[in-house]
Structure 1
Amino acid sequence: MSQNKLHLQLASLGLGAFCAFYSVLPSQAAEKIYFTYGSLLFSLRVSSLKTFATEGKVNQDLKFYLKLVDPKQQSKFQKALTQKADISPILLSRFFNSSVGEKILDRFGRTLQIPGGVNGKYGIRGALVQAALDPQGLTLLNFLQKFPTEIQVDLNRGLAVAKDVEQFVTATESIESEMRKISTQQIATQPVRDFSRYPDLRQMGNMGVVTEKWQLEDTSRNRKFFALVYKPQRWREGKTPVIIFSHGLASKPEDFGQIGEYMASYGYVFVIPQHPGSDYIQIQDMIAGYKRQVFEVQEFIDRPKDISYIIDELTRRNQAEFGGRLKLDSVGVAGHSFGGYTALALGGAKIDWDNLEGECDRYIWRINLSLLLQCQALELPQTNYTFKDPRVGAIFAINPANSAIFGQKGLSQISLPVMLGSGSYDPATPIVYEQSRSFLWLTTPDKYLAILEGQAHVDVSKLDPGIQDIINSVPGLTLADSQLLSEYTNALFLGFFEVYIAKNDNYRPYLESSYAKFISQEPFELLTIDGTSSEQLSDVVKQIED
């Protein structure tokens, strides 16, 4: 959201009254931070951190903690204490009062406690909001100063989190390394091709693009939504292949217009429906206070039904609007994140309630934010939902949230061709816990796994500038250019759907690991493997889980 729009929204919500309310709340700011490690107890005065942050002085109290830290790291720590995060207090308040937000607070509160070992989630929420309201803004130092009680940090849990982060990074590197090794081995067995003489799938096609917006209503569910429809200006010979794309959580159809235009330029009809209840509008309503939740749990059911309704609608319009051209007995379905769940569900994956409960019960600290989404499904009646649509012919799931909710049992029900896309910098649906396991659990013989190095789940260039600044401030983090990632995705989409939806075997070479290598640009390569090397990847995944 732009800063101007955000300021207008805050004004309309009466930010002044909100600030006044918080300013009169009785609070006892934290004076000390206590660190517990087993039976050991250490303390640090918050005022010592303030002196260090503002004056650069290390007093005797702080010297104990910084004596092993070199001057360069001390300088970085000093800067981190006062680095401002430009985040709306309204947004923080609304989000952390949602079910998803409360779960995040609960996880942090197990480490950042109040004295006596009590979960500090309410103190964290209050300190975040009050610091964001303060003229100095939300900084680490201001957060500590606004904490309503003394702070107790459980170092055992903190070290466990640090260890989990380290293991996550190591595991991701292991997966990447093994995929590179497998890809090289597969290339050695594939025909030698001069891809410079092949059509370049990274470029737009030559069939032109027409865009329409349909207003739809599924009266059986009392559900109104719109869909963006991308059509070619010139029709290809024979039947016209159809792809339906499911957007991710807090997203909107327009975010994926580029891939819609690209596929239409090659003769496809590409449809992107809105999913009300888990889209951008839902998030805006939550921020404004009209909705409490980040998304409605019913979306696990409504999203697949939205896609099936689109196929119904295309069938109704096929003769009159498309001259009967559409190929609707084998439709391609793709999706991103929550949309990846949607696509896999339509392909036949079934919710495994036992697996989901097990994953959610043992989840304490794991760098897999998608569990916050997947575990919400436990609020649904645990019946045998069937979303499989027999008209779906192939699935392309990008960064899908899926491993817990489907598990091995649920994913093994898919018999269609599937391609899973993943990003090496994705903390929301990381390849370590999501796509690598899901790829192994798929039993369909036609399966592919792609990893886009430098991809971080979302297109960072489309994020709010404040969020971009926070991401850019992370040391050593360099993300791949969005244009490069789009080129990789375009080539994978067209090659996959030409083979499995348009039934054009001339495009099969584009699914080979050698083509991914051909279009790869260092340092952010595209790696792809097929199902013939599942066992080899399985060995690495098992080592990670052990």
Structure 2
Amino acid sequence: MSHGTGGAGEDLDWLAAPLNEAGFLVASVDHHGNSYNDEYLVEGFTLVSERPTDVSYLLDHVQDQYDVDERRIGSAGFSLGGYTVAALLGAQIDTRIMSALFAGHVPAPHVPEFPGLMEALRAKYSTEQLELLAQSAARPVRDPRVRAGALFAPGIAEVLTPASLRMIAAPVLVRWGDVDDITPPAENARLYADLMPRAEAASIGATAGHYVFLGDREDPSHVREAAASDAVDFFTHHL
């Protein structure tokens, strides 16, 4: 599992517990430089293609320690973690868009967890270095061991190449809240859902926002319970 921007694996305990109760071995990672359990680093917030690499490393470790059926591996993520899962399935960053974001030619989304993020990035790296970083971010990071994915309020869909999303052959669960103002569904979750051929997509609630998918937030409508149930059914069916 892959947490959201600045979060931690424990944020998704609400999902891990029912998956484990259903018989799944569950493992999560705190992404280096992008977790409150670690030091916040500008690279951890901007070099997002390092995240799927973290998960692949975690899979290496899990397979080394446990008897895992490689044909039955799935991944789930929230917010930027949703991108992580999509990247593991084959989504790729558009180099031109990432270059423009790094250079400041197009506005970057506000990141509440790291104010002044892009300014900090441009202060640390030269123009030439930023271009190389953008090219590196666009490298393929697909992990063929991941056979299915679940995306909850996923982000940065508009930074990805539509062609790479259309090429994803794996089944993908996509869930979002209709009043999400951090990763607005029209620009993110719905875009993923429209482009990925085997997406199973639905809103989880007309009044649900972005952070309802964090385990320590109020959830009077039991959104997380419904989302976890959907995920258990999805992975049980496809894996």
TM-score normalized with structure 1 length:
0.37
Query: Aligned-pair RMSD on alpha carbons?
Result: 2.9
Paired residue type of 1:297: T
Instruction: Say if 2:19 is the partner of 1:263.
Output: yes
What's the CA shift for 1:339? 0.7
Match of 2:201? 449
Identity of aligned residues (%): 23
SS in 1 for 2:37: helix
Say if 2:214 is the partner of 1:458: no
Q: Structure 1 residues 273 and 480 mapped into 2: Cα distance closer, same or farther (>3 Å)?
A: closer
Q: Distance in 1 between matches of 2:43 and 2:100?
A: 23
Structure 2 partner of 1:281: 37
- Cα pair 1:356 1:406 within 8 Å, conserved: no
- 8 Å CA contact retained: 2:5, 2:80: yes
Aligned residue for 1:421, secondary structure, equals strand
* Matching of residue 345 in structure 1 with residue 94 in structure 2: no
Verify: 1:425 aligned to 2:182, yes or no. Answer: no
SS of residue matched to 2:167: coil
After the TM superposition, which residues 211-250 of structure 1 pair with which residues of structure 2 at under 5 Å, given as runs?
A: 245-250=1-6
**Residue of structure 2 in register with 1:332 after alignment:** 74
Runs of 5+ unmatched residues, structure 1: 1-244, 319-323, 464-478, 502-546
Return the offset for 1:355: 4.4
Query: Which residue number in structure 2 is paired with residue 309 of structure 1?
Result: 57
CA separation in 2, counterparts of 1:302 and 1:455? Answer: 29
- The residue correspondences of 1:124-273 to structure 2 (distance < 5 A) are 245-273=1-29
- Aligned in 2, Cα 1:480/1:256: closer, same or farther, shift over 3 Å? closer
Structure 2 CA distance for partners of 1:341 and 1:455, relative to 1, 3 Å: same
The 8 Å contact of residues 18 and 228 in structure 2, kept in 1 or not, is answered as yes
8 Å CA contact 1:369, 1:429 repeated in 2: no
- Summarize the Cα distance change of 1:335–1:328 in structure 2 as closer, same or farther, 3 Å threshold: same
In structure 2, distance between residues paired with 1:461 and 1:329: 30
Contact map agreement 1:336 1:398 (CA 8 A) in 2: yes
User: Counterpart in 1 of 2:46?
Assistant: 297
Partner of 1:40: none
Q: Does the 8 Å CA contact 1:355/1:407 hold for their aligned counterparts?
A: no
When normalised by structure 2's length, the TM-score is 0.80
Q: CA deviation at 1:410?
A: 2.8
Q: In the superposition, relative to structure 1, how do residues 302 and 354 fare at CA in structure 2: closer, same or farther (>3 Å)?
A: closer
Q: Does 1:481 align with 2:220?
A: yes
Kindly indicate whether structure 1 or structure 2 has the higher relative contact order, using CA contacts under 8 Å at least 6 residues apart: 2
Residue identity in the other structure for 2:232? L
**Which residue does the alignment assign to 1:516?**
none
Q: Residues 359-378 of structure 1 correspond to what in structure 2 (within 5 A)?
A: 361-363=105-107, 369=110
In the alignment, the residues of structure 1 paired with residue 99 and residue 134 of structure 2 have an alpha-carbon distance, to the nearest angstrom, of 13
Shift of 1:435: 1.4
Distance in 2 (CA, whole Å) between partners of 1:248 and 1:427 is 15
Tell me, yes or no, if the aligned pair for 1:407 and 1:438 is still in contact at 8 Å: no
User: What do the CA deviations read for 1:385-442 (whole angstroms, capped 9, x no partner)?
Assistant: 1111111100111111132221312312311111111111211111121111222122
Q: What's the offset of the Cα at 1:462? A: 2.8
Cα distance in 1, alignment partners of residues 62 and 215 from structure 2: 33
Match of 1:416 among 164, 167, 170: 170
Gap runs ≥5 in structure 2: 123-129
Map Cα deviations across residues 25-48 of structure 1 (whole Å, 9 max, x no partner).
xxxxxxxxxxxxxxxxxxxxxxxx
Match of 1:534 in 2: none
Q: What CA distance in whole angstroms lies between the structure 1 residues aligned with 2:43 and 2:146?
A: 29
Q: Which has the higher helix share?
A: 1
8 A contact 1:249–1:280 mirrored in 2? no
1:338·1:400 contact (CA, 8 Å) conserved in 2? yes
How much does 1:331 deviate? 0.8
SS of the aligned residue for 2:141 comes to coil
- Cα distance, 1:361 vs. partner? 4.2
Query: Partners of 1:407 and 1:429 in 2: how far apart?
Result: 18
CA contact (8 A) 1:417 1:447 kept: yes
Please name the residue that 1:386 is paired with.
Answer: 140
Figure out how many residues of one structure are paired with residues of the other and give that number: 220
Residues 280 and 344 (structure 1 numbering): CA distance in 2 closer, same or farther, change over 3 Å?
Answer: same
> Does 2:233 align with 1:495?
yes
Instruction: Tell me if the contact between 2:158 and 2:187 (Cα under 8 Å) persists in the aligned partners.
Output: no
Deviation of the 1:358 alpha carbon: 6.6
Deviations along 1:488-542, one digit per CA (max 9) or x if unpaired, are 11111011101111xxxxxxxxxxxxxxxxxxxxxxxxxxxxxxxxxxxxxxxxx
Residue 439 (structure 1) aligned with residue 177 (structure 2): no
Quick check: which has more Rg, 1 or 2?
Answer: 1
